[in-house]
Amino acid sequence: MIKFQGVHKEYDNGFVALKDIDLTIEQGEFVAVIGLSGAGKSTLIRCINRMHDISSGSLMVDDVDVSKLRGKEIRNLRRRIGMIFQSFNLVSRISSLKNVLVSFVPEMPFWRKIFGLYTKEQKIKALEALDRMNILDKAFIRVDQLSGGQQQRVALARTLAQKPSIILADEPVASLDPVTATQVMKDFQKINEELNMTIIINIHHVDLALEYATRVVGIRSGEIVYDGPSSEVTKEILEHIYNGKLEEELSAN
């Protein structure tokens, strides 16, 4: 469970990006965070794995008080929380399989790290993750030879191999064409349903958010202005979230 209670986030320059956020997300939910550019979506997501520090309030992930973690404890938290980025963050000149294997490096002894000596079990886990994402046939292909959608699947496989309980995705489909973006959303849906992983996605495509996520959190100027089932989101609610600029948002995507 993820629980924000009275969370404020003020950046060093004094800008307040999150105001009094109360939000509870249960294990296995698929949540889309929507709102105008600059509303605070990325900030909200990145506080969960301590990429950003909160300024006040409390943020719990299961029984862990995220703001109290230090050094190694933060790394342990991040092992439980996978992160997917718009830019995939893959190593472009190595194969899909090697990219997935990289996820095991933090837990390897020093001498194995130096020589890149992965165990048979790790290789099997990596291949299983690629298989789950239907991209096993590209295991030995360099990722710079894959399409954007295929690269995002490799990134998802790398995250899955860590066996996280939560996946945070910061605009994971922003750089993809509409067909591929839909496919990647289906991949998230599959992971969510089959593995009961919590998925929290920051997304500009309102239609994809409503179709694939089960819950929508609408943010406006750092405040939650809607939180409910995606099936209950009306045009009026969207206008409220987007501060009357819904048409602009839709035409920009």
Ligand X SMILES: Nc1ncnc2c1ncn2[C@@H]1O[C@H](COP(=O)(O)OP(=O)(O)OP(=O)(O)O)[C@@H](O)[C@H]1O
> Among 2, 4, 7, 17, which residue sits at the site for ligand X (rule: CB under 6 A)?
17
Pairing of strands 166-170, 198-202: parallel
Check binding of 35 to ligand X (CB under 6 A): yes
Based on CB atoms, which residue is closest to ligand X, 88 or 118?
A: 88
Check binding of 13 to ligand X (CB under 6 A): yes
Check binding of 83 to ligand X (CB under 6 A): no
Provide the sign of the torsion angle of the four alpha carbons 170, 221, 57, 23, taken in this order: negative
Binding mask 181-220 for ligand X (x = CB under 6 A): ---------------------x------------------
> Among 21, 42, 100, 125, which residue sits at the site for ligand X (rule: CB under 6 A)?
42
Q: Min. distance of Cβ 175 from ligand X in angstroms? A: 13
Check binding of 248 to ligand X (CB under 6 A): no
CA-based max dimension of the chain:
59
- From the list 12-20, 130-138, 188-196, 239-247, the region that binds ligand X by CB under 6 A is 12-20
Residue 6, number of CB atoms within 10 A of its CB: 13
- From the list 32-40, 62-70, 150-158, 209-217, the region that binds ligand X by CB under 6 A is 32-40
Binding mask 116-155 for ligand X (x = CB under 6 A): ----------------------------------------
> What tokens does 214 get?
């089960």
Q: Min. distance of Cβ 218 from ligand X in angstroms? A: 11
> Among 11, 27, 53, 137, which residue sits at the site for ligand X (rule: CB under 6 A)?
11
Residue 132, number of CB atoms within 10 A of its CB: 19
Q: Min. distance of Cβ 69 from ligand X in angstroms? A: 20
- From the list 24-32, 36-44, 208-216, 245-253, the region that binds ligand X by CB under 6 A is 36-44
Using CB under 6 A as the criterion, which residues of the chain lie in contact with ligand X when the complex forms? 11, 13, 15, 17, 35, 37-43, 202
